[in-house]
Amino acid sequence: MDKPVGDIGMEREENVTSLALLASFLRLGASSFGGGMAGWTHREIVERRGWLTDDEFLKTLTVAQIMPGANPVNLAVYIGLKLRGVAGACIALFGMVLPAFGVILTMSVVYQQLRSHPEAQAVLRGLACVGIASSLTMGIKTARRLKGHALPIAMAVAVFLMVGVMRWSLVAVVAGAIPVSVAATFWIEREKARG
């Protein structure tokens, strides 16, 4: 588990120790309040440690965003993989998730203690409202990127109806929708290129 597996095409493995990697990602995991994670990670990995160049970091960022999984966690895992192979990926995942996991478990315990109090119930209801609002805002901001094209909008509406209203299996709907959506996008892009 603690030997780098294979060379991922970066020859800097000797200068990155497991301990330094763990320290870096624990620090990042602990500072993952809200957004701006990519900025924090860039500061730590590129500027402070010099483990990746700007260009390498940007490439990893794209991959982390496109693949399934939480983006900050993906970014960490992929950087860990590049620096120290599979062991590095495991260290990065552990370091990145552990601080937030600790906080959320603490909140769980507090919730169990306070659950019966009407005040705590009211506060949670209020927080749920803001949570829903922030999800919806994120959805609206992502929807704006569809730029009013009929096909992507129809796709988004269809996915919403199937998963949200008809309650079909989310995994099955996504497995079916992604090829269709990617093929449609491919076609739209090609038409655009032809003018």
- Per CB under 8 A, contacts with another protein among 86-145 are 86, 89, 93, 97, 99-101, 103-105, 107-108, 111, 115, 118-119, 121-140, 142-143, 145
Residue type, 133: A
Residue from the set 20, 23, 42, 71 that interacts with another protein by CB under 8 A: 71
Amino acid making up residue 70:
A
Spatial CB neighbours of 102, under 8 Å, sequence gap ≥ 6: none
Q: Minimal distance in Å, beta carbon 138 to another protein?
A: 6
| Location of structure tokens 């062991």 | 87
Question: Which is nearer to another protein, 20 or 103 (by Cβ)?
Answer: 103
> From the centroid of its chain, how far is CA 141?
17
Contacts (Cβ under 8 Å, ≥6 apart) of 190: none
Q: How far is the CB of 21 from another protein (least distance, A)?
A: 15
Q: Which of 2, 165, 191, 192 binds another protein (CB under 8 A)?
A: 165
Give the shortest CB-24-to-another protein separation in angstroms.
Answer: 16
Q: Is 50 in the site for another protein (CB under 8 A)?
A: no
From CA 147, how far away is CA 129, in angstroms rounded?
A: 28
Which residue lies nearer to another protein by CB, 43 or 175? 175
Count of C-beta atoms within a 10 Å radius of residue 88: 27
Q: Is 16 in contact with 88 (CB distance < 8 Å)?
A: yes
Least distance (Å) from another protein to the CB of residue 143?
5
Determine, following the binding rule CB under 8 A, whether residue 35 of this chain makes contact with another protein: yes
Does 53 interact with another protein (rule: CB under 8 A)? Answer: no
d(CA 147, CA 150) in angstroms, rounded, equals 9
